[in-house]
Amino acid sequence: MISKRRTYLVIFAVLFCFLAPFILAPVVIWSMIHFFDYSSSPRSKSPFPEAHQRAVNSFVNSAGFGFYRMAKSEHWNELSLIFEDTVYHKNTLHLIGLTPELGDRYFEEDAPEKRKLPEAKHRPLTKEEAEAIAKIHAGAPWVHLPAPPYEVYQGELEQIRVIAPIFAQQSCLECHEVKEGTLLGAFDYWLYDPEKKVSDQN
């Protein structure tokens, strides 16, 4: 004859198996939101200065632009952003290195991790890129450059480039012998307007 204690244990086990998913699911979801901060990402229509600062944070305070880093609220995770009153979608993001020890370099691949910078593929700056950096040295918050159209299956969309600075923060001084606030690099944003076809302007 089955004892009452064993009966209760069986009933508890059955109820636990049935109710566990309903109990644990909210806990897991809350933990993911708290840990990754999904509640605020990905973002749409972010003002460019805010989006750029998050990109800088992603590079300066992390190992790179991986999934985990992008998911945090203070890091880059933009679907679209607002630049000069126009909503642009991001095409790509490139890093321009301006460190005294390695010189001016343009990284043609997606922004690399900091530890991989010395060996990462790069090229010299073009004349227009060098002129943009000179303007930033002179005090410009960023520089808007023309870009070739962004090709999609519907046709060609208007695309722009925006070069914005990366200034040395306190954490940068551990590796770079410069003063805080020194221009150490820049991001080259390639942005396209999904609502503006090049053919519409002709």
Tell me the pLDDT tens digit for each residue of 79-112. 899 999 999 999 999 999 998 888 999 998 776 6
Question: Residue type at 109?
Answer: E
pTM, two decimal places: 0.73
Question: Which helix or strand (DSSP H or E) is residue 134 part of?
Answer: helix 127-137
The answer to whether position 21 is within a domain reads no
Residue span of the structural domain in which 113 resides: 37-201
In this prediction, residue 36 carries a pLDDT of 43
Cα–Cα distance, 138 to 136 (Å, whole number): 5
Residues contacting 104, CB < 8 A, separation 6+: 96, 97, 98, 124, 125, 130, 133
In the DSSP assignment, the letter for residue 22 is H
The answer to whether position 23 is within a domain reads no
Domain count, the chain: 1
Cα–Cα distance, 146 to 52 (Å, whole number): 19
The answer to whether position 24 is within a domain reads no
* Residue 83: strand pairing partners: 86
Of 163, 170, 154, the residue nearest 188 (C-alpha): 163
In this prediction, residue 117 carries a pLDDT of 76
The answer to whether position 7 is within a domain reads no
Task: Say if CB 53 and CB 19 are below 8 A apart.
Answer: no
Q: Supply 124's token pair.
A: 């010299």
The answer to whether position 11 is within a domain reads no
- Angstrom distances, CA of residue 128 to CA of 48, 118, 119, 162: 21, 24, 25, 12
In this prediction, residue 157 carries a pLDDT of 94
In this prediction, residue 172 carries a pLDDT of 77
Ranges of beta strands (E only) in the chain are 46-47, 80-83, 86-99, 103-107, 143-146, 150-152, 155-167, 183-197
Flag residues of the chain having pLDDT under 50: 1, 30-40, 64-71
Work out whether strand 80-83 and strand 46-47 pair parallel, antiparallel, or are unpaired.
Answer: parallel
The answer to whether position 22 is within a domain reads no
The answer to whether position 68 is within a domain reads yes
Cα–Cα distance, 183 to 176 (Å, whole number): 11
